[in-house]
């Protein structure tokens, strides 16, 4: 026996919201990925005028080519030393005894940053400008010759540009004279200071990436549950319809 018109109407009312939930869930998953798909910078231990370790998180946005190069522009630092990275070489550029750029290039035969993955590029340096935000424009190069120039400043209205420059937000110096890391700690790059700073930064960047994935995953799960509920409701209605006809 076919579903009566009232039952069909009820089924449509149940399935339509469930389908919409599925669409919203998938959109949330895609949106979370897109929101995190740009080069970012973080330095949780660095204060205004201080020294410390900066981590650049570089996702690969290409569908076909690995990321094989990264150049970051610095605000004229007295000291800047890139972290050793297997498979990459780094070059520090100075002007008037100030470090103005660091360039990382993947070694021949190195996979670089493969499609669908991200890399972390770190350097230790300072002192950073005594201002709340510091932009670090970055040029990302792919194996096929394409480039992505992350150099656009954030507009006054706070909206995000298409290619935002990686930006550090620096808290004021605490006033204890350490400036987020002593002058001795940056040039000597002691193993203890380096490991501690890098550990905290890795945790922060990993947390940000995990948060984006969790948000996307939650959206997908909600959408899937909506679709399952809709199908289950339709099945029950059909069974009831058949039961009613036999009675």
Higher pLDDT, 5 or 102: 102
Q: State how far the Cα of 186 lies from the Cα of 52, in Å rounded to an integer.
A: 7
Contact 121, 43 (CB under 8 A): no
pLDDT at residue 188 greater than cutoff 50? no
Mean pLDDT for the stretch of residues 172-189: 54
Pick the CATH number of 39-183 from 3.30.70.360, 3.30.9.10, 2.60.40.2230, 3.30.420.40: 2.60.40.2230
Considering the chain, what is the average pLDDT of its residues? 74
Least confident range of 34-43, 106-115, 117-126, 157-166? 34-43
Mean pLDDT of the region 149-169: 93
Least trusted range by pLDDT, from 7-16, 97-106, 145-154, 162-171: 7-16
What are the domain boundaries of the chain?
39-183
Q: pLDDT tens for residues 29-58? A: 333 333 457 999 999 999 999 999 999 999
Residue 174 has a pLDDT of 77
Q: Is residue 62 scored above 60 in pLDDT?
A: yes
pLDDT of residue 236: 47
Per-residue pLDDT reduced to its tens digit, 104-114: 999 999 999 99
pLDDT at 187 over 90: no
Higher pLDDT, 61 or 175: 61
Average pLDDT over residues 114-132: 97
Q: What is the pLDDT of residue 158?
A: 84
Classify residue 213 by burial, with Cβ atoms within 10 Å: 0-12, 13-18, 19+: middle
Q: Which residue has the higher pLDDT, 166 or 154?
A: 166
The residue ranges of DSSP E strands in the chain, in sequence order, are 40-42, 52-59, 67-77, 79-82, 88-95, 98-106, 118-126, 133-135, 138-142, 147-150, 167-169
Pick the closest to residue 14 from 239, 228, 244 (CA basis).
Answer: 228
Q: What is the pLDDT of residue 6?
A: 55
What's the pLDDT at 239? 57
């Amino acid at each position: 026996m076919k579903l009566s018109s009232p039952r069909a109407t009820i089924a449509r009312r149940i399935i339509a919201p469930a389908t919409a939930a599925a669409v919203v869930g998938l959109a949330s998953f895609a949106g979370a990925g897109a929101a995190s798909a740009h080069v970012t910078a973080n330095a949780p231990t660095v204060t205004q005028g201080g020294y410390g370790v900066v981590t650049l998180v570089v996702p690969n946005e290409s569908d076909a080519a690995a990321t094989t190069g990264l150049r970051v522009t610095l605000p004229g630092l007295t000291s800047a030393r890139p972290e050793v990275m297997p498979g990459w070489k780094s070059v520090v550029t100075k002007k008037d005894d100030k470090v103005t750029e660091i360039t990382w290039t993947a070694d021949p035969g190195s996979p670089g940053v493969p499609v669908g993955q991200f890399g972390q590029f770190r350097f230790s340096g300072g002192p950073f400008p005594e201002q709340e935000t510091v932009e670090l424009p970055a040029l990302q190069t792919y194996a096929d010759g394409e480039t992505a120039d992350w150099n656009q400043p954030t507009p006054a209205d706070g909206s995000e540009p298409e290619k935002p420059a990686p930006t550090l937000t620096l808290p004021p110096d605490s006033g204890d004279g350490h400036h987020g890391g002593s002058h001795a700690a940056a040039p000597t790059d002691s193993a203890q200071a380096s490991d501690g700073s890098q550990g905290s930064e890795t945790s922060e960047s990993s947390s940000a990436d995990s948060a984006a994935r969790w948000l996307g995953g939650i959206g997908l799960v909600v959408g899937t549950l909506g679709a399952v509920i809709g199908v289950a409701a339709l099945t029950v209605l059909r069974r009831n319809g058949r039961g009613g006809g036999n009675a």
